[in-house]
Amino acid sequence: MKQRKLGASGPDVGALGLGCMSFGGLTGPTNETDSFAVLDRAWDMGMTHFDTANIYGPYTSEQVMGRWLAARGHKPSIATKASITRAAHHPISNDPAYLQAELEGSFKRLGVDHVDLFYIHRREPAIPVEDVAGFMGRLIDAGKIGGWGMSEVSPTTLRRGHAETPVTAVQNEYSLWTRLPELGLLQECNRLGVAFVAFSPLARGVFGRSVIDPAHSDFGAFRLEMPRFQAPNWAQNKSRAQAFQTLAAEYGHNAPALALAWLLAQGDHVIPIPGSRTATHVSDWDGADQIELTPDLAAKIDAILPVGWAWGDRYSEAQSKVPERYC
């Protein structure tokens, strides 16, 4: 697999990373055997950056990854995150004492004493991002983390944090159906030498080999809350996704590989992190980094999926409370 830089001074990693949220059961039921198979297939394909978080499960994803690391002896680049507390009175915490304690807990679950990347999973407005950046800088100096990042933040927050301690990566949702990062954040990451890690690059399963079915019993409550999967929006979105599948087949590709290739073409600093509960789905991504997005193909994709094509918001009102809004 082709390599990309995880930030200006970060390690070289596979152009595709692996998002490990699904190991925690947030997108439907799974088990450790299947999760190990996903990790094995991803590693064999050259995916060397694995992304997890304390909240996935909670803790399950990190625990599974820790047991896999111990069993296999591989040394991937690992990113983890903390900030989402799930406490109604204080749902987000960027307090240094909290972040320190959560990082130490992640180390124990992962079986490591260092991670390449540690994110604040969301920004807490009450704490200046400069203070967070200063704390992260101290973690870097102590050898606890290789670099730091932020998730679901604005270009302004990125600039402020980066000025205090250089940011390694920003992780926001980005795909053919969520294009918000193009309104400044993608460009600012490129200007500052910050990796842009695209989560949900396959539109939460929409761009699979077959179009996902929200009526399926294991679809998961988390996705069912999203307006894009609800009537009447879903019928419109499904129709577009099917048209994209047809286009991909016409060019000899499958839909997930082409969707990932489109993201990779948006900048050398973009690192998509698709996730899955099955090794079969992971295999669908193989070769995405080799697909040439010709001007003709790009134009046809844009005709089917123009900017803003998706019906419905990406999050419910409850889910929208903590990501930063900047447009």
Q: Classify 135 in phi/psi space as left (phi over 0), alpha (psi -120 to 50) or beta.
A: alpha
Q: Are strands 270-273 and 195-199 parallel, antiparallel or unpaired?
A: parallel
**Which pLDDT belongs to residue 88?**
84
Which sequence positions are flagged as catalytic? 56
Q: What is the pLDDT of residues 184-240, one digit of tens each?
A: 999 999 999 999 999 999 999 999 999 999 988 778 888 999 999 999 999 999 999
CATH class of 3-304: alpha beta
pTM over 0.85: yes
Place of tokens 């909290």: 98
Identify the bridge partners of residue 213 per DSSP, sorted by sequence position.
none
For the chain, domain boundaries: 3-304
DSSP code string of 63-130: HHHHHHHHHH----EEEEEE-B---TT--B---HHHHHHHHHHHHHHHT-S-BSEEEESS--TTS-HH
What six digits make up the tokens of 140? Answer: 């870097």
CB 96 within 8 A of CB 128: no
| Residues 6 or more apart in contact with residue 303 via CB below 8 angstroms | none
| Average pLDDT estimate for 125-137 | 98
Q: What is the distance between the alpha carbons of residues 267 and 205, in angstroms, rounded to a whole number?
A: 23
Q: Is 264 helix (H, G, I), strand (E, B) or coil?
A: helix
